[in-house]
Structure 1
Amino acid sequence: MIKVSIAENLEDVEKRISAAAKRSGRKREDITLVAVTKTHPAEMMNEAIKLGVTDIGENKPQEVRDKYDSVLPVKWHLIGHLQTNKVKYVIDKVCLIHSVDSIKLMDEIERQAEKHNLDMDILIQVNISGEETKSGISKEEVEDLLKYAGKLKHVKVKGLMTIAPKTDNSVTNRLHFDNMRQLFVDIKQKKYDNVNMVYLSMGMSGDFETAIECGANMVRVGSAIFGARDYSQNK
């Protein structure tokens, strides 16, 4: 097995984020790096945290629950699809849920947040490319969720998230990212109740530089830091 150097990989990712931020007229500190640790053990997560990683992203709520007590203090993000019956696993552990795509899920997050006497920051996941295999709502459905959020006391909408198609055509993804940035700006200008457009979460290991150039201020990077995922450990 090839030994992964998290330190070298992280240094490379940091340089690439800094360069992309500069190209977009911003600074490195304007971009939040969420290191995605899906299937990776607590030991690797702790190594990354010791190297300066402040935000960790998990795809599955069960992994947050199972790893939480073995990992050094860090900000946890739930970035994968979240079923309503799994909200209870993460409600008191994560700082941000990236993947909210229904009123039903918002209601359950509200219920669990009230139960734990806390507020939960969320992002609305938008399927900007319209791919049938992608989670998220269409651009046209976003307003309904934003209006509904105005009725909630414990759920706080803090921005948008998207997953671009896996493609070698960076021009296509740049178009999707540009569309997300415009949606983000449009919502900010309309000033919905209980909606504060703080985070635009888009870009992963294969396209985070393009995403930053298009306006992302939060990127979710996994394999470029931790290497290929070991699914044999995730059964």
Structure 2
Amino acid sequence: MTGTREEELSANVKAARERIQAACVAAGRPEGSVTLIGITKTFPISDVRALAALGVRDLGENREQELKVKAPDCQDVTWHFVGQLQSNKARSVVRNASVVHSVDRSSLVTALSRAAVDEGRVLRCLLQVSLAEYGREEVATGMSRGGVAPADVPALAAEVAAADGLELGGVMAVAPLGSDPDEAFAGLEAVASRLRSEHPGADWISAGMSGDLEAAIRRGATHVRLGRALLGTRTPLG
């Protein structure tokens, strides 16, 4: 990696941390209450190593194929899987990630539990919540970014909490296309509050990306997932 790329990433990490801190101040939240997850999808392992060296200790991938290549090469960080997950890829993800943000159905709970037990691991699971009702384009087209309906969260949460090898960690969501992020994340905050009333330890809210992290933090996000803000929009390598 050239010095120029290292300098670029260093500046990006600094700017992202400053945005997070400013959002925390504006929301009346304490410093350090929001964790930055660097999303490295499609970018090379050299960028992964550079982010880790810059103190980004939580890294995420949304494709199992990339996770299983990058995670073994950079083991001194916490790996998060944030993409849609097929049940037949559960074992690979369990081997390489500590947290899965996209649990959205019973069959996936079963697959993750079986793999976690077999691998002797405890996997932290976040329920991906659909916020499609807040997105004009989703409502108009019937398309969605995925997730379990808010009304179905309690039942799926109970399944995760009861499953061997799994730990219920909280919720995750993506603001829908055409939505007001503040409104959408307020809906997620309400779901998260109800979940904590039944499962006090499930206190993570994974929400907010490069374009809407301020709204997410205002609505209680504990983890933000940043890709473009850290790695830029250059043509990815590999």
**TM-score, length-normalised on structure 2?**
0.89
> Does the aligned pair in 2 maintain the 1:59–1:80 contact within 8 Å?
yes
Amino acid of the structure 2 residue aligned with 1:95 = S
Paired residue for 1:219, among 216, 220, 224? 224
In the alignment, structure 1 residue 174 sits paired with structure 2 residue 182 = yes
Return the alpha-carbon distance in structure 2 between the equivalents of residues 42 and 165 of structure 1. Answer: 30
Matched, 1:76 2:87: no
**Aligned-pair CA distance for 1:231:** 5.7
CA separation in 2, counterparts of 1:6 and 1:77?
Answer: 20
Change (3 A) 1:94 1:173: same
Distance in 2, Cα, partners of 1:166 & 1:27: 30
User: Number of matched residues?
Assistant: 225
Question: Is contact 1:75-1:95 (8 Å) kept?
Answer: yes
RMSD: 1.7
CA displacement, residues 148-195 of structure 1 (integer Å, 9 cap, x when unaligned): 22431211111000000244x6xx110110111111111212x24xx7
| Contact persistence 2:91–2:116 (CA under 8 A) | no
Q: Name the aligned partner's letter for residue 147 of structure 1.
A: A
The structure richer in helix per residue is 2
- Deviation string for 1:41-61 (max 9, x for gaps)? 110111111111010010111
Which AA in structure 2 matches 1:226?
A: L
| C-alpha spacing 1:72/1:187, structure 2 compared with 1 (3 Å) | closer
Provide closer, same or farther for how the CA distance between residues 128 and 70 of structure 1 changes in structure 2, counting only shifts above 3 A: same
Cα distance in 2, alignment partners of residues 101 and 93 from structure 1? 20
Task: State the SS of the aligned residue for 1:56.
Answer: strand
**CA 1:221–1:185 in 2, change beyond 3 Å: closer, same or farther?**
same
What residue number does 1:162 align with? 173
Counterparts of 1:227 and 1:138, CA distance in 2: 33
How do residues 56-75 of structure 1 correspond to structure 2 at under 5 angstroms? 56-71=59-74, 73-75=76-78
Identity rate, percent: 30
Q: Which residue of 2 aligns with 1:86?
A: 89
Q: Quick check: 1:223–1:229 contact (8 Å CA) kept in 2?
A: no
**Ranges in structure 1 where 5+ consecutive residues have no aligned partner:** none
Whole-angstrom CA distance in 1 between matches of 2:194 and 2:70 = 38
- Taking the aligned partners of 1:229 and 1:103, their CA distance within structure 2 comes to 38
The whole-number CA distance in structure 2 between the counterparts of 1:176 and 1:90 is 29
Q: Distance in 2 between matches of 1:69 and 1:182?
A: 37
